[in-house]
């Protein structure tokens, strides 16, 4: 009976280690996916100042209520609200939805 207990214990430890390895692998893949997604973001944006001037600024310099110009085909640099025109946006990296979303 001692050998039966040994194999049960060894199997339990093996299953726990396998579960831990699968979890760490999933966490690592999620981190890599976030890094790749961050690399897709542009470094700069065109900010429209209060006097209507266009100014190239770093993304870190964009504040709430700033107006940012995004031309056709460009990546959208920040979260925001469309205030003029209409567009369709590929949100597949964020939502997993393969169809473009009309805005």
pLDDT of residue 16: 97
Question: Which tokens go with 44?
Answer: 């700069």
Statement to judge: residues 29 and 54 lie in one domain? no
- Which residue range(s) make up the domain with 7? 1-40
* pTM score over 0.85: no
The low-confidence residues of the chain, meaning pLDDT below 50, are none
Could you tell me if 18 and 58 lie in one domain? no
Count the domains in the chain.
2
Question: What distance in Å separates the CA atoms of residue 15 and residue 1, rounded to the nearest whole number?
Answer: 21
Closest CA to 89 of 71, 76, 80: 76
Same structural domain for residues 48 and 94?
yes
């Amino acid at each position: 009976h001692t050998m039966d207990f040994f194999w049960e214990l060894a199997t339990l430890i093996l299953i726990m280690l396998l579960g831990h390895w699968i979890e760490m692998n999933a966490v690592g893949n999620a981190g890599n996916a976030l890094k790749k997604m961050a690399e897709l973001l542009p470094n700069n944006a065109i900010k429209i100042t209060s006097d209507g001037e266009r100014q190239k600024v770093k993304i870190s310099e964009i504040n709430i209520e700033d107006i940012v110009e995004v031309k056709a085909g460009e990546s959208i640099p920040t979260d925001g609200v469309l205030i003029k025109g209409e567009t369709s946006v590929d949100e597949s990296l964020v939502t997993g939805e393969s169809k473009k979303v009309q805005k």
